[in-house]
Structure 1
Amino acid sequence: MIDVAAAIIENHNGQLLIARRKSGKSQAGLWEFPGGKLEQGETIEACLRRELLEEMNINIEPYEAFGVHSHHYETAHIRLYAYKAKFVSGHIKLSDHDQYAWSTAEELDKYEFAPADLPFVNKLMSQLKQ
């Protein structure tokens, strides 16, 4: 099993950062909450800070666990840890993605998400109805 972290990053307008996997990557063309694989001995928060700086050139501050979900893809079994985070600084430059968007939680259902991210999309949308 591969441990992966995903950041649900909120900006000062309350919008969430999502990104589309670029061609040639697994799950190409599907949207996700950005993040990456945890390295040996790394905390989820440290992984998210590192990955977002490496892959998107931004600084974030993870502040709250949002959930864990295991998913079996054809080639891998992942355990995805989602954390809420605040956007701190930086100008987005993409490396593993070909597009990004700042979306409200209400608009998330307009995007086709990677299967492992769907439980978190559904949880965010269900919180709106409470």
Structure 2
Amino acid sequence: MIEVVCAIVEQHGRVLLTQRSEQMREPMLWEFPGGKLESGETEQQALVREIKEELGIDVEPYHRLEPVQHPYPGHTVVLIPYLCQYNGGVINLLEHRAYRWATPGELPGFNWCPADVPIVETYLKLVKNRG
């Protein structure tokens, strides 16, 4: 079981998505950016570190959503999503192929990694309930 945190970074009514590169597992699919927890880290610490390492921006996790378990061949991922505030920096793609700031209404149109699909659905319900 691999624990992975992911960031739903919100800014100006849009959310940050990243497209996996050709060299990554699940190539060319879209995801909420994040990464694996390291020993001794809290989920929030791991998320702040991963987003800084992968994208060069600063985020502040503020609300944990329901984790999603997704089986892959040979392992299971527990994806732990957090709503995050964007706190600055310029996006610099160090691992991903592309990024996009998308409105909630645009999210269903992306080709998502399978583990992210339930998180997209949960996020859309949350946004609708905020409305």
Could you tell me how far apart the structure 1 residues matched to 2:119 and 2:108 are? 12
Aligned residues: 129
Could you tell me how far apart the structure 2 residues matched to 1:54 and 1:101 are? 18
Letter paired with 2:78? R
CA offsets per residue over residues 82-116 of structure 1, 9 Å max, x none? Answer: 00000001000011210000011111011010011
Kindly report the root-mean-square deviation, in angstroms, between the aligned alpha carbons of the 2 structures.
1.1
Shift of 1:125: 2.0
Letter paired with 1:7? A
Q: Which position in structure 1 is the counterpart of 2:122?
A: 123
Q: Which position in structure 2 is the counterpart of 1:68?
A: 67
Could you tell me how far apart the structure 2 residues matched to 1:28 and 1:75 are? 18
1:75 and 1:25, CA in 2 relative to 1: closer, same or farther beyond 3 A?
A: farther
Look up the SS of the partner of 2:68 in the other structure: strand
Shift of 1:128: 4.4
TM-score scaled by structure 2? 0.94
Q: Which position in structure 1 is the counterpart of 2:6?
A: 6
Return the structure number with greater strand share. Answer: 1
TM-score scaled by structure 1? 0.95
- Determine what percentage of the aligned residue pairs are the same residue: 39
1:128 and 1:90, CA in 2 relative to 1: closer, same or farther beyond 3 A?
A: closer
Shift of 1:126: 2.7
Could you tell me how far apart the structure 2 residues matched to 1:70 and 1:9 are? 21
Q: Which position in structure 2 is the counterpart of 1:104?
A: 103
Q: Which runs of 5+ in 1 are unaligned?
A: none
Letter paired with 1:48? L
